[in-house]
Amino acid sequence: MIIQSSRFLLDSLARGRSKTIPVIENRVQFAHVFDMPQISAVVLRHCNLFEFAALFERAHRRGLTVYVNIDHIEGIHADPAGFSYLAQQLHIVGVISSNPRSLFLAKQVGLETIQRIFAADSTGLHTALESVDMATVDLLDISPALVIPHLLPFLEEPLPLPVIGSGLIHTQQQVQEALRAGAAGVIVTRSDLWP
């Protein structure tokens, strides 16, 4: 049974004081986020989830919404059992993936789903956009985020989904340009851009 998402990320960004979403790749970064009350959501990537076991409960108690880039994570397989474990045991709210099948399976266990779209060229973009299942995907993650000001006006009619951006963000000005263009938030790896 497919469960309708309540748009956790959008709610989280609305109540937080920051529209940036930190990428967490190690325990030190994860622990650092707890000292930043303006951060309301994080994305885990390139890490082993089981190294964070003690931090997941702390994040849950703090109200921090945690997402996993399931295409770039260790410790959990993108299958029904893995997604159930993410949701029930680790308090993960949602997943990011460029794989429509992974998003479908994640949605079935009630996770929020974010489809990553690579806008490297028009052919790849067109193919990726055709793979979006509106019944399964809650948000789009456009990468690189730098293209959002140019791309978003063309996406609103065919894909009326909220958009976040990620990739190639190096300055606060680039973050602001994506937000002014209509992105709900921007995923960033650089810690100086987190707050």
Residue pLDDT, tens place only, 8-41: 788 877 776 789 999 999 999 999 999 999 999 9
- The chain-wide mean pLDDT, for the chain, equals 90
Report yes or no: 139 and 114 within 8 Å, Cβ to Cβ: yes
Q: What is the pLDDT of residue 109?
A: 95
Residue-range domains of the chain with CATH:
8-193 (3.20.20.70)
Query: pLDDT for 125-137, tens place per residue?
Result: 888 888 899 999 9
Copy the structure tokens of residue 25.
């790749």
Report yes or no: 83 and 104 within 8 Å, Cβ to Cβ: no
Distance CA 28, CA 48 (A): 13
Q: What is the pLDDT of residue 165?
A: 96
pTM metric for this prediction? 0.91
What is the share, in percent, of the chain residues with pLDDT greater than 70?
95
Query: pLDDT for 77-109, tens place per residue?
Result: 999 999 999 999 999 999 999 999 999 999 999
Residue 69 has pLDDT above 50, yes or no: yes
- Give 53 or 157, the one with higher predicted confidence: 53
Distance CA 61, CA 72 (A): 26
Copy the structure tokens of residue 174.
């680039």
Lowest mean pLDDT among 1-10, 125-134, 141-150: 1-10
